[in-house]
Structure 1
Amino acid sequence: MAVLTPDAGRQPAVLLTCRDEQLDSLLALRRVTAHLGDLPRAVLASHEPLPRAALVCDEEATTARLTALGVPVLHLASAPAAAPAPTERLLHRAHWPGWLEHPGGLRPTGLLAPARLARRRNRRGTLLLLSLWQVPQPAAEAFNGDQLPFLARESVRRTGACQLVCDTGLDQVRAAVSHLPGVTVGRAAEVDVDALHAGAELLLASPTLAAVALAQARRAPLVFLPALGAAQHDLAERITRHVPVPSAADPADPAVWQPPGPDAQWGAIGPELDDLRGAQGVARAVRQLLLAPL
């Protein structure tokens, strides 16, 4: 990241940045940004004046640099974290749905739903949403070499196509499935995940908050890929205490391809538990930082 320097002639702009190799961080930023309209945006460049405020998803080093320069920051964490000591010019929030008990001390945002909830009437194929962020390399290699090709092949056979999207490790993922007909591979930072989901028949996803938000907001079927790494195991366990999410550990299991209907899967989570407006709330807080800096 380029070093920012103080500038007395700041523009009324907001800096928006995230960890684009982490699915939850990337999609959290996109969903909040969708509610910021045409607000002028700043960029991380030494020749630019300092922004009036910033939304930083997960990049702790960026938050530290900006606050040291006097920029008000809303820091949005995409994983459970303890509440830090109060700091001037810094607000902390946790990307976390309201119906799921939060293990950290940060203020949860509620569900960060996509801006458009509609799905296409004629849906086809499977969206296979894979997160390898902070997954130990041996676990990623074992999954890519064994289960991933089987899942991609079954997705094509049962739903007609497979759109595989991953956040990091793209080269290894592409090598594992490039020989399979009907499978398309993309990097999450370069595709519109929400739009792909709108046109997909089924969502097979790593246990991530981004995937849960997609499925819950659209009352769409969700199946978890095998959890890879401690963070995914922990999140999957927490979620499945409340929501019946099948596991794709055995791609030959018919339950993978015929998950519970919307009422059975999401019926226990009513609007009183999570009203889907988490992204609007974060966007509103960012606008308030511009109008009345800390």
Structure 2
Amino acid sequence: MGAPNFKLPTFPLSPILVKEMAGRMRNARAHTVMTVYLAVASSLSVLIYMVGVLGSPRTVGGTGAVGQVVFYFLVGMQLLLVSFVAPAFAAGAISLERENKTLEVLCMTPLTPAQIVQAKLISALGFTLLLLFATLPLFSLAFLLGGVEPRQLVIALCGVLASALMYTVLPLYLSTRFKTTASATLSAYAIVSSIVVGVPLAALIGVATLGQVLGPGAVLASLLNTVFIAVISLSPISAFVASEASFSATGELWMFTYGAVGGGLPLTLPSPFLILTGVYLAASALLYALTVRRLARIEQQ
């Protein structure tokens, strides 16, 4: 008797997903983006390592500070990638079909609006995740130098992955709302920039201004501090900075302790990266549903 013939299970793939993934990976722009991103990230990481190691004292744990700098730099590169590069991968997903006069043909296929949106989302998000995972080996340099715990990588990955999903679904939804790719792209970057940079700055200025106008008060200061932490948790950069600062000071991963500032009472809240992850996952699910609904309406027109 011959050996049993085992076959791996196969899963049917949407034809639009196969087309999108093949077209994206065969595009010269995709290889250019990956090459430039990895070259910049790896070159600067090695430069930071060399400068830090040569300038650090030759003592046990003396390179820990260098490891932290490398770690923060790599996370910062990933956050910049998902915030300001990932939206471009999805902003033209539907609007480009409309510009090329192929949206009507796509809507006439047996594929449902949900299947079309899912294929577009997986294609754009998949390439972003490919860029993110390609830089993971560089984190071994930070762990080799010390000063960084694996739990800190958990904080970073939660925020980065949630941001990658959010900033892919958002431009995908805008792509169904605008008729041109340029309009969808500009709107996506305007919204993302407002969230990433504008929200924490507005929170900082607003809380400081209200604290000066309304005067001291323990209850009021505590309320303002709570609002401040909740608002800065909406930006991946400020959420990561606050979470890492709290973890370095207290060693607590899941909770965030905010000291008595401005006469306020000490606060213990969920860590900003947890707030960010929960809000972004809920917002992504809502935007995904709205995108499917919008595409279904376009098909009916």
Settle same-fold status: TM greater than 0.5: no
- Higher share in strand: 1
TM-score of the pair, normalised by structure 1? 0.26
